Copies of this chain bind each other. A is one copy, B any other.
């Protein structure tokens, strides 16, 4: 889906092609972190920042920062610093933040509630539009301004509302069935907190698995190693 702007069509296309060829997977992986820091700077009202200052803030070498950011066009101006808003906008665009994806949270337990309460979604341009559960005591209520529907309504709701992302916070046992329903309804992205590794149910569905336990284990390993050292 190339967006060819009527006026700047050729230029836009050139930029897009350049991005495609020059932004490496390694840089893409680092961009969310830049996005996070630049977003914080913007909210604090910082309009410009030097690579040296950004380096200190992010604990990354200035040369790494210049390398990463020059990859997709080079917004730094010698002695003048980066334009925070412009850079934030460009990274947002590259990462798909402004695509207007809609999400539903399936599972209105503690984790679902915790996710519903964060600013995480809106800061990445993702609109949460509803929650789903099977528990009759929670169906029909509102959590953080989101209506909670019964899972029976999940497929129709997602189809009608063009939902792109399903956030899965259901128990492990219920996960496969919920995913099948989401995929049937045309949902293309699954953010999986169900504590089981979900393989993409079809080639055009993207699955991002969250395994908090792996992170806890990394912490334990480092604690152990540090104590031994």
B204 touches A216 (CB 8 A): no
Interface of chain A residues 1 through 36 with chain B (CB within 8 A)? 1-2, 28-29, 31-33, 35-36
Instruction: Compute how far the CA of A37 lies from the CA of B29 in the bound complex, rounded to whole angstroms.
Output: 26
B117 touches A217 (CB 8 A): no
Please tell me the number of chain A residues within 8 Å of chain B, measured between CB atoms.
60
Q: Chain A contact residues: over half helix, strand or loop, or mixed?
A: helix
Comparing A80-88, A107-115, A130-138, A145-153, the segment that makes contact with chain B is A107-115
B206 touches A191 (CB 8 A): no
A220 touches B1 (CB 8 A): no
A-B pairs, top 8 by smallest CB distance, nearest first, are A96-B224, A110-B114, A32-B214, A111-B114, A32-B217, A208-B219, A96-B220, A110-B113
